[in-house]
């Protein structure tokens, strides 16, 4: 499908037709990744990265899933212990 780039401030913009957006599963407000390639520009849905909370992660640490101490045979450089 061909679309025409339009000037948008100092940038360029393109409109994604409704039927193509529905087929691709994207909607207004979605975050997309743009990658420049020798053939042109590739547009992909951005991966949603989970937000981690330290307290939640630490709550998952239990005696049965903790590993033992790892002996690294003492300092390897100028570490201070």
16-31 burial code (b ≥16 CB/10 A, e <16): beeeeeeeeebeeeee
Looking at residue 73, its pLDDT comes to 80
In order of their start, the domains of the chain are: 1-48 (2.10.260.10)
Q: What is the pLDDT of residues 22-72, one digit of tens each?
A: 999 999 999 999 999 999 999 999 988 788 999 999 999 999 999 888 888
- Given a cut of 90, whether residue 74 has pLDDT beyond it is no
Helix (H), strand (E) at residue 13? strand 11-13
Tokens found for residue 79:
């570490």
> Residue 48's pLDDT is what?
80
Beta bridge partners of 33: 44
């Amino acid at each position: 499908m061909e679309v025409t780039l339009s000037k948008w401030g100092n940038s360029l913009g393109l409109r994604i037709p409704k039927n193509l957006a529905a087929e691709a599963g994207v909607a207004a407000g979605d975050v997309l990744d743009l990658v420049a390639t020798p053939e042109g520009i590739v547009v992909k849905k951005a991966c949603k990265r989970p937000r981690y909370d330290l307290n939640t992660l630490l709550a998952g640490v239990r005696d049965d899933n903790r590993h033992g101490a790892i002996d690294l045979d003492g300092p390897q450089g100028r570490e201070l212990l």
